[in-house]
């Protein structure tokens, strides 16, 4: 645990008592503060009360009197589409609103560094797609290189739940737009921006607000080094804003779609080859085509982002290449579940939007595609360029028929549930094809989350493989 500093003897309101909220309450208490906790769920309040926390409804008259700050869980809307009433109450009372990420950076910077020969460093990764894989890949490579490292944030444990870092340790954080947008302190040593595609637009008032939230990690944080994916206009804009000139070595540009030129520091992936270029000369290259845990162009982009962050720390290219080979991938993200008679079964349940699903489809030459669920804003038109590799779609979800109608002339079977979809796809798949779960939709019509959906897919595949 990282004890929260700066609030010794003060009252701090904690709104939301999920994983990050409870961790914040514990860390505040460990740092000498008095947490006053609340959640709209009676079950969550009961769990917090069993740990001895004081339950205080911030909407009660006088509840925020004498409160020094309020920390808010990332799932609670703080501006769009409408701020939670308790947050508006904090604004009215003049109480600063923060979150666990802000408390983390504030408290880590106040640590006792006298015992460290090499101070700990933080790599923070954000973006629309690929940030989990990129963060996990960075952590894996650091561990393989023999460096102490911890992985936290939107993946793994909460930022305040990590152990106090040891000498020379690297903390790798995956940070969502929700987490970045509200944090009052952001000071990573290396910050990574993978890409930007439309997502969570209701929470940020549109695409511009969504990008603005991501941009705060760089504009507010002032990292020593920035690794920026420039395959979208927002990334190119951000890179231009950060660079002091064409050869600014603090900026590492990343692309998986085009060759980058100029005197700067670039990492690109083309036709399966990662290439590092500095001052117009190639410094290193890695063949990614045989890295089983990183299939497809989208994962090659993730590899480039991870490579850039690792090179920013001075890790040698050959050390990174060796570590790439042993990376197994993440659950529910291009996860290879099994293989039978030349048919591969892949779980990409995390492909909850059109862009992520398109990238998953493009990673395999011939696909039996399991898709469907709660469709997001923007429709399915973004999938059209990659549907040529799809032999047939097997649609699940409560609105499966409506989803199927939007797939045009593609051969489609409305299956509704996962068991039928997997059984039908497996029965019809031919050698060389991939049965791929890449829903292009949210899971909440049938599942609690994408992990549960992915587990159902794996369970159904296990039944097929057992026959």
CA 307 to CA 194: how far, in whole Å? 12
The annotation status of 131 as a binding-site residue, yes or no, is: yes
Tokens (6 digits) for 245: 């000139």
Q: Decide if 323 contacts 329 (C-beta within 8 A).
A: no
Q: Decide if 150 contacts 169 (C-beta within 8 A).
A: yes
Tokens (6 digits) for 1: 């645990």
Give the H/E segment covering residue 106: helix 100-109
The annotation status of 133 as a binding-site residue, yes or no, is: yes
Tokens (6 digits) for 440: 């292009």
Q: Decide if 272 contacts 300 (C-beta within 8 A).
A: yes
CA 309 to CA 190: how far, in whole Å? 7
H-type helices in 110-164, by residue range?
A: 131-144
The annotation status of 130 as a binding-site residue, yes or no, is: yes
The annotation status of 127 as a binding-site residue, yes or no, is: yes
CA 196 to CA 214: how far, in whole Å? 9
CA 135 to CA 68: how far, in whole Å? 33
CA 263 to CA 278: how far, in whole Å? 7
Q: How many CA atoms lie within 13 A of 257 on its CB side?
A: 9
The annotation status of 132 as a binding-site residue, yes or no, is: yes
Sheet holding 335-340, edge to edge: 335-340, 343-347, 434-437, 367-371, 390-396, 412-416
The annotation status of 129 as a binding-site residue, yes or no, is: yes
Q: Could you list the residues known to form a binding site for ATP, using ranges.
A: 127-133
Binding-site residue positions: 127-133
């Amino acid at each position: 645990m990282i004890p929260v500093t700066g609030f010794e003897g003060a009252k701090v309101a904690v709104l939301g008592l999920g994983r990050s909220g409870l961790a914040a309450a514990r860390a505040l208490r460990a740092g000498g503060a008095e947490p006053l906790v609340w959640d709209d769920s009676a079950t969550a309040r009961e769990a917090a009360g069993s740990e001895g926390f004081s339950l205080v409804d911030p909407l009660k008259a006088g509840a925020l009197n004498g409160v020094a700050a309020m920390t808010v869980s990332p799932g609670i809307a703080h501006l769009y589409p409408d701020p939670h009433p308790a947050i508006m109450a904090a604004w009215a009372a003049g109480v600063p609103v923060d979150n666990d990420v802000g408390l983390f950076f504030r408290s880590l910077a106040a640590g006792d560094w006298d015992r460290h020969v090499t101070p700990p460093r933080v790599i923070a990764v954000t973006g629309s797609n690929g940030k989990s894989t990129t963060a996990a890949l960075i952590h894996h490579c650091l561990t393989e290189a023999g460096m102490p490292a911890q992985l936290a944030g939107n993946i793994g444990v909460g930022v305040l739940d990590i152990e106090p870092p040891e000498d020379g340790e690297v903390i790798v954080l995956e940070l969502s737009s929700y987490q970045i947008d509200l944090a009052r302190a952001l000071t990573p040593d290396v910050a990574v921006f993978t890409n930007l595609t439309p997502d969570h637009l209701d929470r940020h008032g549109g695409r511009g607000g969504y990008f603005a939230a991501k941009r705060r990690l760089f504009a507010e944080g002032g990292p020593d080094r920035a690794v920026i994916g420039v395959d979208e206009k927002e990334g190119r804009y951000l890179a231009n804003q950060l660079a002091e000139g064409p050869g600014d070595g603090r900026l590492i540009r990343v692309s998986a779609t085009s060759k980058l030129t100029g005197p700067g520091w670039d990492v690109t992936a083309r036709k399966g080859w990662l290439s590092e270029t500095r001052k117009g000369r190639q410094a290193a290259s890695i063949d990614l085509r045989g890295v089983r845990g990183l299939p497809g162009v989208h994962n090659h982009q993730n590899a480039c982002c991870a490579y850039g962050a690792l090179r920013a720390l001075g890790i040698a290219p050959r050390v990174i290449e060796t570590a790439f080979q042993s990376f197994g991938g993440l659950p529910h993200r291009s996860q290879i579940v099994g293989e039978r008679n030349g048919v591969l079964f892949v779980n990409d349940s995390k492909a909850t939007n059109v862009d992520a699903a398109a990238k998953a489809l493009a990673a395999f030459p011939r696909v039996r595609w399991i898709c469907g669920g709660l469709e997001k804003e923007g429709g399915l038109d973004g999938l059209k360029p990659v549907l040529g590799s799809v032999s047939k779609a097997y649609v699940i979800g409560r609105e499966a028929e409506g989803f199927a109608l939007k797939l045009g002339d593609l051969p489609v079977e409305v299956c509704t549930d996962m068991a039928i979809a997997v059984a039908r796809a497996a029965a019809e798949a031919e050698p060389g094809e991939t049965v791929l779960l890449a829903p292009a939709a949210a899971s909440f019509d049938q599942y609690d989350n994408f992990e549960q959906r992915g587990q159902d897919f794996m369970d159904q595949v296990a039944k097929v493989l057992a026959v």
